[in-house]
Amino acid sequence: MNNNGTILSVNDLKTYFQTEDGVVKAVDGITFTLAKGETLGIVGESGSGKSVTNLSVMRLIPEPPGKIVGGDIIFDGTDVRALSIDEVRKIRGKRIAMIFQDPMTSLNPFLKISTQLMEVTQLHLGHTKQQAYEHAIKMLETVGIPDAKSRVDGYPHEFSGGMRQRVMIAMALSCDPELLIADEPTTALDVTIQAQILELIKDLRERMGTSVILITHDLGVVAGMTDKIIVMYAGKVFEQAPTKELFERPANPYTKGLLKSVPDPAHEQGEPLYQIPGLPPDVAHLPPGCPFAERCDRAEDICRSEYPPFVEINENHHSLCHFAKEVYDGN
């Protein structure tokens, strides 16, 4: 694989939710490893299970109704599933940090930015108030907040959306985590601000050597940011591959459809866009065959009756499809 060593390995993780409608298999068997300093992108539409995967890694699944029913989560040699909640808390926020889509709802509106930043290092690094305060200012400077010394005592509403996301990143990186999970970190932001935040994550990743899991629905964002990608659909891993290979030679019709349905500025206006027909399936009531068969343009009878195999294209490239090799070969 590589000589840096593995920071996180997830093996056949299954997280199910009990609902009135039956059991929802939100994540149903996902396997990946993340090396130190590496960036993994997880792409999928809403309800595909990409966020639940990462909430599982952080042990943040509300139980009940949710439950991790199977699989291993090994973080730097530690079995995360076997830890007590107290032990998980020592890792969460310190060694694994997370940033969310909406920075307004993840910051406490009643507390000063300084208080919220200080809490993290006082708890995890045993900082005194003075140390924590100075560290908070340093972190705000690191993430590019101008005039950090005076802004540190402001409240979240005094910051713009992009600035709040910077504060969240400052908080996440306060304890110098080994793994940063960013769940749609730029979805609520304008493109120019998105470019700033992505640039910041890239820069910090290089300076601090942090491993990153980037969850997004935007194929453009993962193209420039990641080493490898997992494409999820209906709780399943549909395809995983190194970034370059996934874009050049997808081996799954769903990935292929997603790539084609993004408007390409080079194309002439007026041509219809490729569209994946239909709607994402109801995860509580999946059909017996491939969950994507109904919407797939190359589905055959077998796809509707038999669950597809997870085909190995090569050591690093896998696809859940009866015809993975054919799709990979361009047929």
Partner 1 sequence: MTNNDLIKLENLQVHYRVGGGLFSQAKHVKAVDGVSLDIKKGETLGLVGESGCGKSTLGKAILRLTEPTGGKVFYNGKDLAHLPQSEMRDQRKDLQMIFQDPYASLNPRMNVGQIIGEPIRTFGLANGRNVDQIVQELMETVGMSRRFVKRYPHEFSGGQRQRIGIARALAVDPEFIVADEPISALDVSIQAQIMNLMEKLQAEKNLTYLFISHDLRAVRHLSDRVAVMYLGKIVELAPGKDIYDSPLMPYTQALISAVPVPDPEVEAKRDRIILQGDVPSPIDPPAGCHFHTRCQYAIDECRRNVPQLVQIKPAHSAACIRISPEHPNIIANAEAGLGAVGLE
Could you list the residues that contact partner 1 (CB under 8 A)?
Answer: 45-46, 146, 160-163, 190-196, 198-199, 217-221, 223-224, 243-244, 247, 257-259, 261-265, 267, 269-270, 272-277, 279-280, 295
CA 125 to chain centre: 26
- Quote the least distance from Cβ 141 to partner 1, whole Å: 15
Q: Is the peptide bond before 65 cis (omega within 30 degrees of 0)?
A: yes
Mention every residue, 6+ apart, whose C-beta is less than 8 A from residue 148: 137, 140, 141
Q: Which is nearer to partner 1, 95 or 274 (CB)?
A: 274
Question: Looking at residue 273, what DSSP letter applies?
Answer: P
For 275, the token pair is 């569209």
Q: Name which of 224 and 309 has its Cβ closer to partner 1.
A: 224
Q: Which value, to the nearest 10 degrees, does the dihedral of the CA atoms of residues 192, 193, 198, 202 take? A: 100
Any idea what DSSP says for residue 119?
A: H
Question: At closest approach, how far in Å is the CB of 247 from partner 1?
Answer: 5
**Contact yes or no for 54/183 (Cβ under 8 A):** yes
Closer CB to partner 1, 92 or 317, in the complex = 317
The minimum distance between CB 194 and partner 1, in angstroms, equals: 7
Tell me the CA distances in angstroms from 173 to 176, 178, 205, 252, one per residue in order: 5, 9, 10, 36
Nearer to partner 1, 147 or 315 (CB): 147
Q: Do 181 and 58 contact (CB within 8 A), yes or no?
A: yes
Nearer to partner 1 by C-beta: 129 or 285?
285
Tell me the CB-side half-sphere exposure of residue 120, using CA atoms within 13 A.
28
> How far is it, in rounded angstroms, from Cα 229 to Cα 223?
9
Describe the strand order of the beta sheet including 6-19 as a list of residue ranges: 22-35, 6-19, 66-75, 78-79
Task: Name the minimum Å distance from CB 46 to partner 1.
Answer: 6
Q: Cβ of residue 302: shortest distance to partner 1, in angstroms?
A: 23
Rounded least distance, CB 155 to partner 1, Å = 17
Those residues with Cβ within 8 angstroms of residue 129's Cβ, 6 or more apart along the chain or in another chain? 118, 122
* Closer residue to partner 1 in complex, CB, 123/284: 284
Nearer to partner 1, 136 or 198 (CB): 198
Angle at 179 between CA 135 and CA 136, to 5 degrees: 10
- 2 or 160: whose CB is closer to partner 1? 160
How far apart are CB 260 and partner 1 at their closest, in Å? 8
User: For residue 272, how many other CB atoms are within 10 A of its CB?
Assistant: 5
In this structure, what token pair is assigned to residue 232? Answer: 């999820």
CB of 91 to partner 1, least distance (A): 31
